[in-house]
Structure 1
Amino acid sequence: MSKLDELRDRLFYQPLSLGLIALATSAALSFANQSTQEGIADAEKRDLQTSLSEVLPAGHGDNDLLKDTVTVADNDGKEVTIYRSRKAGTVNGVVFKTAARGYAGDIVVLIGLDEKGTMLGARVIKHQETPGLGDKIEVAKSKWIHDFEGKSLDNLPAEKWAVKKDGGVFDQFAGATITPRAVVKAVKQGLDFYAGHREEILSAPTQGEAK
């Protein structure tokens, strides 16, 4: 075989080999990605279940909240997913997310209410506030978030849903008033949303397991 023939053979086999390697690598990556995505989805589901249980008293419901959801549009047309707690088949509480702009970005709050609209619990699940100042909204850093428990639109006038600096009943943080002010606003907005859609939320047919 001449050197020219050998060169031709190399030119043929090398691209073919590279193509097979690339195909095998792509398949492996696709399999790994699929497996990872399933793991991530399961972890997110467990985290959500834990968060939901933190804003409802132990034993408040006897159903799986992740499998009893409804979606309702707020006044801005944004869809809100509501998780419903039931006792003996009757809705006795709801959990959903609400948010307001803080110092460094949106603060997302998960709130739990009984069927009448009274606060059962609240947890900040996402924020970008300053460590050491604004992070006191986290339950692990401060008990401040528990101040919402037991409050409602019925037992607290609208003007009192504010930090004390603004004439309300909620404490502010030294050097970080914007942060608690945003959380109070988010919770109040959530209560207003529930009050305006209460009948729809309580009576709407279940949409199945949350994704």
Structure 2
Amino acid sequence: MSQAVRPTWVHAFILGTFCAGFGVALALTDDVTKAPIKDRALEDKMNSLGQVIPKSIHDNNPVTDAITLPNPAAGGHGGAPAETIVYRAIKDGKITGVAFELDASGGYGGPVKLMMGIAPDGKLLGVRVISHKETPGLGDKIDAAKTDWITRFTGLSLGNPPADKWKVKKDGGQFDQFSGATITPRAVVGGIRHGLEFFAANSARMMEKK
């Protein structure tokens, strides 16, 4: 009887060994691929920050000098996350600027993710769109690779222009909309204004040294 049972047992053992070996190989592969993915994400983050925080104003790594703040817009504007990571530029021991991501709601294809850099005096150091699903040839003109529209916000602040002018021209504001595409620039202008308001409400905390 043991001779009849042995083949089944042996097959089960072989199958079990194969499955265990496959699981180990899969785990090792996962460990090997995690590091490059993490490195690529860090590189992308640094590239985005480099577009809104000039290298000349910091001698640190803003990614490692980041703080996390509660986001009062959570559940509201753009389906914002509960917390916002604030990346801080520091030079000679002084905080020279901050940057953070923001989801601008109301885009034609959904929320538009922005990266905003702001100086201690509240002026924009730069704004870039880091992801969107807007229509090619129309709404995608918000991308700095397509036009210079997004670069025109550099140097502006909550008071410049006045609050009632933080709109596209079609709505009575200062900013150009695109021919055939008003929804996208309207969303981005509104998102930038909300970002400036977030900075104004949290600037003291953002400028605190660790």
TM norm. shorter chain > 0.5: yes
Q: In the aligned structure 1, how far is the partner of 2:140 from the partner of 2:4?
A: 67
Aligned to 1:46: 43
Report how far residue 155 of structure 1 moved. Answer: 2.1
| Alignment partner of 1:85 is 2:89 | yes
Report how far residue 5 of structure 1 moved. Answer: 5.9
Question: Counterparts in 2 of 1:174-185, with a 5 A limit?
Answer: 174-185=179-190
Q: In the aligned structure 1, how far is the partner of 2:163 from the partner of 2:112?
A: 21
Q: Deviations over 1:105-143 (max 9, x none)?
A: 111100001111101111111111111211111111111
Checking the alignment, whether the CA contact within 8 Å between 1:119 and 1:152 is kept in structure 2 is yes
1:166 aligned partner, one-letter code: D
1:112 aligned partner, one-letter code: G
Aligned to 1:12: 9
Aligned to 1:97: 101
Question: Counterparts in 2 of 1:69-148, with a 5 A limit?
Answer: 69-76=66-73, 78-101=82-105, 102-148=107-153
Q: In terms of Rg, which structure is larger?
A: 1
Checking the alignment, whether the CA contact within 8 Å between 1:147 and 1:170 is kept in structure 2 is no
5+ residue gaps in structure 2?
Answer: 75-81
Report how far residue 180 of structure 1 moved. Answer: 0.7
1:137 aligned partner, one-letter code: I
Report how far residue 71 of structure 1 moved. Answer: 1.1
Report the secondary structure of 1:33's partner residue: helix
Report how far residue 179 of structure 1 moved. Answer: 0.5
Checking the alignment, whether the CA contact within 8 Å between 2:161 and 2:174 is kept in structure 1 is no
Report the secondary structure of 1:86's partner residue: strand
Report the secondary structure of 1:65's partner residue: coil
2:104 aligned partner, one-letter code: A
Structural RMSD (CA):
1.4
Report the secondary structure of 2:55's partner residue: coil
Name the % identity.
41
Report how far residue 163 of structure 1 moved. Answer: 0.8
Q: In the aligned structure 1, how far is the partner of 2:159 from the partner of 2:140?
A: 29
Tell me whether 14-23 or 123-132 shows the greater mean CA deviation: 123-132
Report how far residue 198 of structure 1 moved. Answer: 0.8
Report how far residue 80 of structure 1 moved. Answer: 0.8
Q: Aligned match of 1:187 in 177, 185, 192?
A: 192
Aligned to 2:77: none
Q: In the aligned structure 2, how far is the partner of 1:120 from the partner of 1:165?
A: 26
Report the secondary structure of 1:203's partner residue: coil
Q: Deviations over 1:22-53 (max 9, x none)?
A: 00000000110111112111110011011101
Checking the alignment, whether the CA contact within 8 Å between 1:99 and 1:183 is kept in structure 2 is no
| Alignment partner of 1:66 is 2:74 | no
Aligned to 2:203: 198
What TM-score results when the alignment is normalised by the length of structure 1?
A: 0.91
Deviating 4+ runs (over 4 angstroms): 4-7
2:102 aligned partner, one-letter code: T
2:11 aligned partner, one-letter code: Q
State the structure with bigger RCO (CA 8 A, min sep 6), 1 or 2. 1
Report the secondary structure of 1:66's partner residue: coil
Q: Aligned match of 2:178 in 160, 173, 181?
A: 173
Q: In the aligned structure 1, how far is the partner of 2:31 from the partner of 2:139?
A: 38
Aligned to 2:29: 32
Checking the alignment, whether the CA contact within 8 Å between 1:70 and 1:204 is kept in structure 2 is no
Q: Give aligned pairs, total.
A: 202
